[in-house]
Amino acid sequence: MSNAVDVRLSEIAARAEARAEALAVRTVSIRVSPNSYAAGLFVALFFSGFLFYIEKELFGMLLLIVGILIIPALAWFDRISFDGKGLSRTGILPRAWAAVNNSRTRLKLNDIELVETHALRALKRGGNVFYRYRTSVQGKDQKFVFASGGTEYRDMVHKLFPLVSENTLDQRSIELRDFLSEPKEALMKAEFAKIPSAEVLEESLQKFYSPLAGSRAKRDNWIVGEEEVEKADYLRTLANELRLSGYLIQALEAFRRSLVINPEDAWALFEYARCLHSYAGSERDAKLQKKAFAALRLAERRGKSDAEFLERLGESYFQYGEWTRAQKMFDRAIELADESYRAVRGLAEIALRDGKLAHVIHHFGTASRLAETPALRRWTRSESDYFARLNSDDEYMELEVSRVKMVENLDEARKTSLRIAVFGIPVIVFGVIFDEPLLGNIGWAVSSIALLIWIGLILSRNLLSNRIPVELIEED
């Protein structure tokens, strides 16, 4: 037990050191996700071609210049910067829009309410799965979104995340804060640790099914020394760095070695299970997925007296759809710690999924009392007030339900209209190449109308994405 405490204390010290380094680092910036600019470029080029087709060369040339020169320039200079005190958006369009609707382009560090990171599988090569991380930072009705793709993202994570309250970060953001590294550096560490390549390890994948196989009997009466604990902790850190870089098989091997040395480490077993679950998902292997859940259950027994660990375990169960297990973990964390913000917030999310609004209101009210920063108190209080209004006002409930359903319908219609627009492009190309004016006209008409509908649906969806203000209902 003392070894586990020493490991946790070393992790806390490492976080404090990372926070000090973040405070000393210069201003960092990252280019915003180019999705909206890419969509604008596509629309501009399409309608430029349409104008040339109907012999409006001047307007077509102007739109082509906008598409080729202006839109890429706007995307290039649109950045999110962080100076240690707050995030700010530097793009021309965001600043112009902020001036029009009297909004702000800066979010102070103390006003950050939520930091959420989603992982998307960008590329799979052999046993390696490379992820693209998309992080959103929210607070005071503002949202800043940036995505991974190089050193800028790592610099932003290492600068911003250590300065934000841990309860503001979701689980993946915490992992990035603690373990995100340069992929080549992680591979170099793996080579120094004599961990084979993914191609070699794939041939002996069965050993990953049970990381403690063959070690339990040997370790039952074995006292793990301080030197071994340090080695196991180093391997665990390396495994997480490899996992976040996408080298899942090598990460599994590093976790296995760490657990052979220290099989009682609940955190290493928990992170091993998450890594195995990611690998099972990439391979669509149901057997591996069952083994991942078995490892989670074993980690649950190992860390049953650690409230922080149970909070994180409950969040993973919630992420994987194990609602009952998640609720048990949150309840147990509250029993151990008495006051557990993350566990109470987790219970609120479970109650919301089950449609128990009274429980949602109660849990968010408790979370507001336990919140450690003004921003978290403001967010949890607003959530509590929102669901309380839903629970007490049938008219407001009906309007919000209608709004949510309409947003879902708009999303489906938007995807359909884009598919239709893309489907018309080959018809246009066929008509132009084989000199078939009728086919060309049909293709241009179908794609143009579908794109115009797509633009209208995007604008409508953005207008309906925000909750209906309570003041608006009261005025009516």
What pLDDT digit, counting tens, does each position of 439-451 carry?
999 999 999 999 9
- 31 and 139 in a single domain? The answer is yes
Weakest mean pLDDT among 40-44, 222-226, 324-328: 222-226
Q: Is the pLDDT of residue 102 over 70?
A: yes
Q: Is the pLDDT of residue 260 over 60?
A: yes
Q: Is the pLDDT of residue 24 over 80?
A: no
Distance of alpha carbon 183 from alpha carbon 330, whole angstroms = 34
Q: Is the pLDDT of residue 1 over 80?
A: no
Indicate the residue among 179, 212, 229 that finishes a domain.
Answer: 179
Residue 221 domain-assigned? yes
Do 173 and 321 contact (CB within 8 A), yes or no? no
Structural domain including 379 reads: 304-392
Q: Is the pLDDT of residue 273 over 60?
A: yes
- 60 and 162 in a single domain? The answer is yes
Q: Taking the chain, what is the end-to-end CA distance rounded to the nearest angstrom?
A: 62
Residue 6 domain-assigned? no
3-state helix, strand, coil in the chain (%, to 5): 70, 10, 20
| pLDDT tens column, 169-217 | 999 999 999 999 999 999 999 999 999 887 778 766 655 555 555 444 4
| pLDDT tens column, 126-165 | 668 888 999 999 998 889 999 988 899 999 999 999 999 9
- 402 and 279 in a single domain? The answer is no
Residue 235 domain-assigned? yes
pLDDT level of residue 471 (50, 70, 90 thresholds): low
- 414 and 359 in a single domain? The answer is no
Q: Is the pLDDT of residue 376 over 80?
A: yes
Our count of domains for the chain comes to 4
The predicted structure's pLDDT at residue 103: 78
- 250 and 221 in a single domain? The answer is yes
- 50 and 160 in a single domain? The answer is yes
Indicate the residue among 270, 302, 334 that finishes a domain.
Answer: 302
The string of DSSP codes covering 216-272 is: HHHHTTPPPPHHHHHHHHHHHHHHHHHHHHT-HHHHHHHHHHHHHH-TT-HHHHHHH
Distance of alpha carbon 242 from alpha carbon 249, whole angstroms = 9
Phi first, then psi, for residue 130 (nearest 5°) are -95, 130
Percent of the chain past pLDDT 90, that is, above it, reads 66
Range 31-39 average pLDDT = 88
Residue 435 in 3-state DSSP?
Answer: coil
Please report, for the domain that includes residue 383, its CATH number. 1.25.40.10
Indicate the residue among 179, 198, 226 that finishes a domain.
Answer: 179
The predicted structure's pLDDT at residue 214: 46
The predicted structure's pLDDT at residue 96: 86
Percent of the chain past pLDDT 70, that is, above it, reads 88
- 42 and 132 in a single domain? The answer is yes
- 32 and 166 in a single domain? The answer is yes
- 33 and 92 in a single domain? The answer is yes
Q: Which residue has the tokens 């650690």?
A: 306
pLDDT level of residue 125 (50, 70, 90 thresholds): confident
pLDDT level of residue 12 (50, 70, 90 thresholds): low
Distance of alpha carbon 239 from alpha carbon 255, whole angstroms = 6
- 114 and 187 in a single domain? The answer is no
DSSP state of 207: G
The predicted structure's pLDDT at residue 90: 87
- 76 and 115 in a single domain? The answer is yes
- 165 and 286 in a single domain? The answer is no
Q: Is the pLDDT of residue 397 over 70?
A: yes
